[in-house]
């Protein structure tokens, strides 16, 4: 588990999510006290591939303008000659924490569903595929109604996103053609498949298909 390691110019208050290469924190900017989110590479995981994914997330977030897509505010130096992304804090928690699995009411679910479908439409209209839609890629705030899609490190242009030998993303949320078992280009519908799995899990508390690897 990542510790709340310091970052110059910010106070780190909470760890929201830990991924394979990066972690998402909530903190405050010391210059003005603003609450922000910080996407940082994990200690010992600052590899060329990890830097590429953080740079890809930065590129994507500069292209999208949507109320349900994370907003990039700055890029700052971090440890190990890496960078950290400073994001606007939309409030709330990861979707499964804000609405425990299997307990979300219908009105809240429909609001979340509309928000995420609209966000993905913006991503796709810009020519990108997210490729990592899942519960841990969504923040939700029940009090404000804000829903935010983030975690764009695996995103790719739709016309260049062929599957490589390395399995990218979370297998439980992948369409068959995204696993490399089928010789097809990854396309927009892969995101909607993953979104459907996310909706099913949020509503029922379990995945539609269990995976062992």
* Contact criterion met (CB below 8 Å) for 94 and 150: no
At 22 the pLDDT is 95
Q: Is 78 in the same domain as 98?
A: no
Domain boundary, last residue among 70, 88, 106: 88
d(CA 57, CA 8): 22
Query: Is 101 domain-assigned?
Result: yes
At 80 the pLDDT is 86
Mean of per-residue pLDDT scores for the chain: 90
Structure tokens, 3: 């510790």
CATH number of the domain enclosing 166: 1.10.510.10
Query: Is 123 domain-assigned?
Result: yes
Q: Is 97 in the same domain as 187?
A: yes
Closest to 29 in 3D by CA, of 13, 42, 5: 13
pLDDT band at 171 (very low <50, low <70, confident <90, very high): confident
- Pick the more confident residue, 54 or 160: 54
Instruction: Give percent of the chain with pLDDT exceeding 90.
Output: 76
Answer whether residue 166 shows pLDDT above 70: no
Q: What is the pLDDT of residues 52-96, one digit of tens each?
A: 999 999 999 999 999 999 999 999 999 988 999 999 999 999 999
d(CA 49, CA 109): 35
Answer whether residue 177 shows pLDDT above 90: no
**Total residues belonging to the chain:** 213
Q: Is 100 in the same domain as 177?
A: yes
Q: Is 51 in the same domain as 134?
A: no
The arrangement of strands across the sheet holding 146-149 comes to: 93-94, 138-141, 146-149
Backbone angles phi, psi at 89, to 5 degrees: -90, 110
In three-state secondary structure terms, 128 is: strand
> Could you give the number of structural domains in the chain?
2
Per the structure, the complete domain to which residue 17 belongs is given by 10-88
Q: Is 84 in the same domain as 105?
A: no
At 185 the pLDDT is 65
Q: Is 84 in the same domain as 102?
A: no
């Amino acid at each position: 588990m990542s510790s709340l390691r310091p970052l110059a110019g910010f106070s780190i208050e909470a760890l929201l999510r830990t991924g394979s290469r990066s972690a998402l924190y909530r903190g405050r900017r010391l210059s003005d006290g603003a609450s922000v989110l910080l996407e940082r590479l994990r200690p010992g995981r600052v590899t060329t591939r990890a830097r590429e994914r953080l740079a890809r997330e930065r590129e994507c977030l500069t292209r999208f303008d949507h109320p349900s897509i994370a907003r990039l505010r700055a890029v700052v130096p971090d440890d190990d000659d890496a960078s950290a992304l400073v994001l606007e804090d939309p409030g709330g928690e990861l979707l499964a924490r804000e609405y425990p699995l299997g307990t979300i009411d219908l009105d809240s679910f429909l609001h979340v569903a509309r928000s995420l479908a609209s966000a993905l439409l913006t991503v796709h209209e810009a020519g990108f595929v997210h490729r990592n839609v899942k519960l841990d890629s969504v923040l939700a705030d029940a009090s404000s109604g804000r829903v935010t899609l983030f975690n764009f490190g695996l995103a790719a242009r739709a016309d260049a996103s062929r599957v490589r030998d390395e399995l990218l993303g979370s297998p439980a949320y992948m369409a068959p053609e995204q696993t490399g078992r089928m010789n097809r280009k990854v396309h927009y519908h892969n995101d909607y498949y993953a979104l459907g799995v996310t909706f099913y899990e949020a509503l029922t508390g379990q995945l539609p298909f269990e995976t062992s690897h």
